[in-house]
Amino acid sequence: MTSSAMPGRLRRYPRRRRVVGDLRYWRDVDLPGLHRRSDLYVWLPPDYDRQDTRYPVVYLHDGANLFDHKVAFAGVTWSADRALTALHEQGLDVIAVGIPCSPDRRIEEYSPYRQEGVGGGDADRYVAFLADHLKPWVDESLRTRPEREHTLVAGSSMGGVVSMHAWVARPEVFGGVGAFSTAFWVPGEPHLRDIETALATRHTSARFYLDVGGREEPDHPRLQEEYVGGTERVVAALRASGTPVRYVYDSAAYHFESAWAERLPSALAWLLSGYAVTRPDDQAAAERGLGPAVRRAVQRLGRRIARGQTPR
């Protein structure tokens, strides 16, 4: 499919909103295929305007909840600006694109299957918007690394559902998935089977981060079991297929933005680089290749970091 016309000028987000870092946005954009309009948020690494580096991109659902508490659900955000800034300080840079959900059709857009009494069924349209319109806009406007291995998609709850579906439907576009507290129970068995079938039959490289809390639905034991059971079923399929996966179970975590904010930095760090960590024996071999003086300096630096001292 040919992408639609560009959405206009990428504006700087108002400084008075006190977002950390360089947040920009496309204002009041028509979203092709979704029959609605929305702002679209783009967070750029701190050195973006001073370098010619190209960056990976993570597409984040429920984008109004990422950066600005004044537009976020319940006034609480993922603190994504702070997480992305912290990653930059660790040497990990990524462009983050936030897509606000539909104000009245969130489940419809985020679920690939319609369930009686719940809704859903339009996730293919939403994924087509991401892959065929938004991604080309971003790649044309910014210095991205457009290859699938540098294109991530992530979200929570129903955003986790549509992130998984984005990989199932368009594996040639999305090479990494972050699924936080995913509501697999909403689309139900057909969605879980889609994931299992895709993992059993595909051999394209991808990596997945999944997590779930022990208090997603503390007042509804059956739903709590569904959150954990659905997530662990997908994790089991990922393990069986030999696909890179990180799974986190936090027994104290609720189904809320503050919980996802706490887990976001480590999730992105793993999706960006942790999944490809060097084997310990390779690290040891590389260290043995250093001269004695350099090796001692590295060891001293490691001890300082362990004591919480920031290297100069």
Question: Do 265 and 86 contact (CB within 8 A), yes or no?
Answer: yes
The reported pLDDT for the residue numbered 130 is: 98
Question: Do 41 and 11 contact (CB within 8 A), yes or no?
Answer: no
* Residue 23 pLDDT exceeds 70: yes
* Residue 11 pLDDT exceeds 80: yes
The reported pLDDT for the residue numbered 143 is: 98
Give mean pLDDT, residues 39-67.
97
Give mean pLDDT, residues 206-232.
98
φ and ψ at residue 46, rounded to 5 degrees: -55, -30
Question: Do 139 and 171 contact (CB within 8 A), yes or no?
Answer: no
Closest CA to 211 of 240, 169, 253: 253
Pairing relation of β-strands 11-12 and 22-31? antiparallel
Q: 250-277 pLDDT, tens per residue?
A: 999 999 999 999 999 999 999 999 888 7
Rounded to the nearest integer, the mean pLDDT of the chain is 92
Using alpha carbons only, give the angle 168, 217, 116 rounded to the nearest 5 degrees.
Answer: 55
Fold (CATH) for 11-277: Rossmann fold (3.40.50)
φ and ψ at residue 92, rounded to 5 degrees: -115, 115
The CA–CA distances, whole Å, from 308 to 91, 153, 291, 294, 302 equal 18, 33, 26, 21, 10
- How far apart CA 79 and CA 20 sit, in angstroms, is 9
